Structure 1
């Protein structure tokens, strides 16, 4: 569906979805009680964002959209299996590592964004493709780290859901859980399609 829309429409959908999705993400995050309507609206806007992003990147690197979908579903499935088997858990030690790595990633993303906006770097993904380590774009290393962080975020989501069920949380918690999973899956998909695009651009 996303690949059938014109390139210009894809750009507009991406911008609309990104801005609207961010606004609703903030509202849903700080809202005391989950609102099904707002959570569904957030999911719809993120669908616009991902559809537009996929249209743009798939036009540049044909096939990355399908690959990103398969990759996202694969990471989700593997993470769920590992969680259910008890082999991976959100332990305090892993949580500390996650927070440190997440802060480092956020700082890099902010610096990269500012440098792209100011024209300090002119490559499509900023420092991710303009800096290389042993001939490999920096974005490949950052992308693998980000996918790992997103996968661990899924573990945290699963842990929260399991704990809520064990505690007999009210049914409305299911909307909060759905919102959390949606946020994580969007993040995971974006990181995977960006990594695939960087790899394709480096061929």
Structure 2
């Protein structure tokens, strides 16, 4: 798997040599793609093989272009760039001063709902839709822009920059840990993350219900030490999802996934990075509010 991106060049070189995360355990490397898929992988058969049972190389010779790491990088940059552009525009065009805060929050809530619907539509589609993914990114950016502007205005002017830098730091840390194989993404790891995320989301729903029905501060996840602890758990979950995203990208490239799958990789990475950013922003907001 070739890439001109210097950050990921070693990752690409590993795949070219036929090495992968299973090498240390003596199994056939992830890069050794056959019709049935790499030995010791997550699939019994190649999920990207054609209906005729052709291996990915034969599909490429037949005209299908396989996904590369550069494809993922370009599409992820495009999607994140859309989020950032929409966030900046909404920050500038939807002020959160006393005269406009209601209107701006209304736009943010509407954008969040639309982004959620678009993400669900893409999740249940069998193929990637760049229009849906970029639409999700644009509306998510509007929501993030208003929330970030309000946080910067009413909590701390520098909190947004800190949250962005924190998101980059977490992402870089997970990438390094994944590349060094300090994090091993296995079925057990994925199951644990799924269970933890389910519990986390259920607590969020319960907290919202308690707040909505007059329980004041809900379950206490919005302030104090408990709020910070809950936010840190959210960041760790986001980091775990990022490791899962890296594993999915690596497997898709090893199996010779079609180029269109790069949009799905970009979609997953963007959702995870948005999650991490919001959780870091939550922790910083609580910390600055209590000091």
**What's the TM-score, normalizing by structure 1?**
0.90
Distance between the aligned counterparts of 1:10 and 1:54, measured in 2?
A: 12
Distance apart, 1:110 and its partner CA: 0.4
Select the residue among 118, 121, 142 that pairs with 1:24. 118
Deviates more, 1:179-188 or 1:5-14: 5-14
Which runs of structure 1 show a deviation greater than 6 angstroms over 4 or more consecutive aligned residues? none
Alignment RMSD = 1.7
Which structure: larger Rg?
A: 2
**1:111-133, CA deviations, whole angstroms, 9 ceiling, x for partnerless residues?**
11111222211x4x862146xxx
Distance apart, 1:3 and its partner CA: 4.6
How many residues are treated as equivalent by the alignment? 196
After TM superposition, list the pairs within 5 Å mapping 1:70-149 onto structure 2.
Answer: 70-121=165-216, 123=217, 127-129=220-222, 136-149=224-237
User: What SS class does the counterpart of residue 128 from structure 1 fall into?
Assistant: coil
1:64 and 2:163 matched: no
CA contact (8 A) 2:174 2:242 kept: yes
1:169 and 2:252 matched: no
Question: Which stretches in structure 2 are left out of the alignment for 5+ residues?
Answer: 1-87
CA contact (8 A) 1:90 1:155 kept: yes
Deviates more, 1:162-171 or 1:3-12: 3-12
Question: Which stretches in structure 1 are left out of the alignment for 5+ residues?
Answer: 131-135
Instruction: Identify the structure with the greater helix proportion.
Output: 1
User: What SS class does the counterpart of residue 105 from structure 1 fall into?
Assistant: helix
Select the residue among 118, 127, 133 that pairs with 1:33. 127
Alpha-carbon distance change, 57 to 126 in structure 1, aligned in 2, over 3 angstroms? farther
Distance apart, 1:56 and its partner CA: 1.3
Deviates more, 1:155-164 or 1:73-82: 73-82
CA contact (8 A) 1:147 1:188 kept: yes
Select the residue among 124, 128, 144 that pairs with 1:50. 144
User: What SS class does the counterpart of residue 43 from structure 1 fall into?
Assistant: helix
Select the residue among 144, 148, 151 that pairs with 2:239. 151
1:6 and 2:95 matched: yes
Question: Which residue of structure 1 lines up, in the alignment, with residue 30 of structure 2?
Answer: none
